[in-house]
């Protein structure tokens, strides 16, 4: 997206309340220094420990593979799911381009799915309209941390005998009918990019149910090389798959291990900010909160999003009071690389209205009250 004369400049933390702020856990520096004093700073024992602790903490029966980014994890998921050149894959219209661009790496054909206007997640009805026998997978994104309607999505996928791949970059800690996101579908990825709930500086993780894929995933993460065999002295110096340099480093894993220690507290605090926004705005008719308020879903509280008419005027008013807001993600059909000519009526209806408000661990509940008070004054 090109800048326009209406774009608002980024703020510094000294100017007010920024939209995002990294959460650096208290033990991160200590653990990183320990790594820097060791013989491993690339992929080593801390990466193994991070995978083990992540799996235990989120009660996942699946395998975990830590990588360099959520995008890396998505690319590996698509390969391991058997997506091939020319295959059609249903993917969200409204998401970070990182969800869909790895399909282009493979040569697969993205088929964009319109939004559910209440949640900005996939429209189940549009999935039903666009799925066919040519479809090889369904990708879903839990926008902002709100789980998609996974039962309905899996019912459709099961009918066509295709996998569901969850892009849970926003949804670490979220739950659906009591099950942790990461424990539902054949493949789920998480992002540990700088401003996520849990950061490794930049990083990601792929979790998958089929344990027979673990060796393949490990090779694909490291140039196609079987590192375990190599380190055990039985490696025969052969590569059978095209691999990538997608590994996490022990430096990143050290930050992640510190983040896991306080993740429950971090999530609880972010969810308290989210609920405070709801309490302040639920009865204010000039905005609509993006949430379906389904009691079977536990929100991961990465984003708080509203729909507001004359959004730009509201953004300028908030900025006047030192409060940053923004869009963050955009509809993917507008990007030339996807060459999409389809129509998306639900997205069209809210395209000029969605606005993300600040939510991060440098805020206080009183900051939410202040933001909402300014909003309720009108714009």
Report residue 4's pLDDT band, with 50, 70 and 90 as the boundaries: very low
Question: Does a structural domain hold residue 3?
Answer: no
**Residue 152: inside a domain, yes or no?**
yes
Same domain, 36 and 137: yes
- The pLDDT value recorded for residue 11 is 52
Question: The domain containing residue 288 runs over which residues?
Answer: 13-21+263-376
Question: Does the structure show a pLDDT above 70 at 66?
Answer: yes
Give the pLDDT of residue 238: 81
pLDDT at 18: 97
Which pLDDT does position 240 carry in this prediction? 87
Residue 367 maps to a domain: yes
**Helices 250-261 & 28-36, crossing angle to 10 degrees?**
150
105 with 143, same domain?
A: yes
CATH at residue 122: 3.40.640.10
Residue 6 pLDDT greater than 60, yes or no: no
Residue 230 reports pLDDT greater than 70: no
φ/ψ of 142, rounded to 5, equals -90, 90
Which pLDDT does position 1 carry in this prediction? Answer: 37
Same domain, 210 and 227: yes
Shared-domain flag, residues 97 and 112: yes
Domain stops at, among 201, 227, 261: 261
Residue in this structure with the two tokens 């590994």, named with its chain if needed: 247
In this predicted model, what pLDDT tens digit does every residue of 283-307 receive, in sequence order?
A: 999 999 999 999 999 999 999 999 9
Is position 8 within any domain?
no
pLDDT tens-digit series, residues 328-340: 999 999 999 999 9
Using the 3D structure, point to which of 219, 236, 261 is the last residue of a domain.
261
Mean pLDDT value across the chain: 94
pLDDT, position 2: 39
Q: Give the pLDDT mean for 20-48.
A: 97
Q: What percent of the chain has pLDDT over 70?
A: 94
Domain CATH for 329: 3.90.1150.10
Predicted confidence band of residue 9 (pLDDT cuts 50, 70, 90) = low
Same-domain check for residues 239 and 290: no
Residues 270 and 211 in one domain: no
H helices present in the chain, as ranges: 28-36, 45-57, 70-80, 101-106, 124-130, 150-160, 214-221, 227-231, 250-261, 263-281, 311-320, 345-350, 365-376
End-of-domain residue from the set 221, 237, 261: 261
Task: Based on the fold, state whether residues 334 and 234 are members of the same structural domain.
Answer: no
Residues 202 and 289 in one domain: no
**Is 4 a member of any domain?**
no
C-alpha triplet 102, 105, 110: angle, nearest 5°:
60
The number of distinct structural domains making up the chain is 2
Tell me what pLDDT residue 228 has.
Answer: 75
Of 188, 192, 190, nearest to 252 by C-alpha is 192
For residue 244, being part of any structural domain is answered with yes
**What's residue 55's pLDDT?**
96
Question: What's the pLDDT score for residue 3?
Answer: 39
271/208 same-domain check: no
- Return all residues near 21 (Cβ < 8 A) that are at least 6 apart: 13, 195, 360, 361, 362
249/316 same-domain check: no
pLDDT, average across residues 230-234: 63
* Residues 295 and 221 placed together within one structural domain of the fold: no
- Answer yes or no: do 219 and 305 share one domain: no
Residue 7 lies in a domain: no
Nearest to 167 by CA among 66, 62, 74: 74
165 within some domain: yes
Indicate if the pLDDT at residue 326 is higher than 50.
yes
């Amino acid at each position: 997206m090109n800048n326009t004369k209406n774009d608002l400049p980024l703020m510094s933390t000294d100017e007010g309340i920024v939209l995002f702020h990294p959460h650096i856990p208290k033990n991160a520096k200590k653990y990183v220094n320990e790594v820097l004093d060791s013989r491993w700073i690339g992929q080593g024992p801390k990466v193994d420990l991070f995978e083990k602790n992540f799996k235990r903490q989120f009660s996942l029966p699946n395998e975990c593979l830590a990588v360099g980014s959520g995008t890396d994890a998505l690319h590996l998921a698509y390969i391991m799911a058997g997506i091939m050149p020319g295959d059609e894959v249903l993917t969200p219209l409204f998401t970070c381009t990182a969800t869909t661009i790895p399909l282009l790496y493979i040569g697969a054909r993205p088929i964009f799915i319109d939004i559910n206007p209440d949640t900005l997640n996939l429209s189940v009805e549009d999935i039903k309209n666009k799925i066919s026998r040519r479809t090889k997978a369904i990708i879903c994104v839990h926008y902002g941390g709100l789980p998609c309607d996974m039962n309905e999505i899996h019912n459709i996928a099961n009918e066509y005998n295709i996998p569901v791949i969850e892009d849970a970059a926003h949804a670490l800690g979220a739950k659906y009918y009591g099950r942790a996101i990461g424990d539902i579908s054949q493949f789920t990825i998480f992002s540990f990019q700088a401003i996520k709930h849990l950061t490794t500086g930049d990083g990601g993780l792929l979790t998958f149910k089929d344990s027979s894929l673990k060796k393949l995933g490990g090779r694909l993460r490291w140039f196609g090389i079987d590192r375990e065999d190599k380190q055990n002295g039985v490696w025969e110096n052969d590569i059978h798959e095209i691999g990538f340099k997608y590994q996490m480093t022990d430096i990143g894993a050290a930050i992640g291990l510190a983040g896991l220690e306080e993740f429950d507290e971090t999530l609880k605090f972010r969810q308290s900010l989210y609920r405070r926004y709801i309490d302040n705005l639920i009865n204010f008719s000039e905005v609509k909160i993006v949430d379906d308020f389904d009691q079977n879903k536990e929100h991961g509280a990465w984003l708080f999003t509203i729909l507001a008419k004359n959004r730009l005027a509201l953004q300028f008013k908030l900025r006047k009071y030192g409060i940053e807001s923004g869009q963050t993600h955009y509809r993917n059909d507008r990007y030339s690389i996807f060459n999409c000519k389809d129509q998306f009526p639900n997205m069209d209806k809210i395209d000029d209205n969605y606005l993300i408000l600040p939510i991060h661990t440098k805020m206080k509940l009183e900051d939410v009250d202040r933001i909402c008070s300014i909003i309720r004054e009108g714009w």
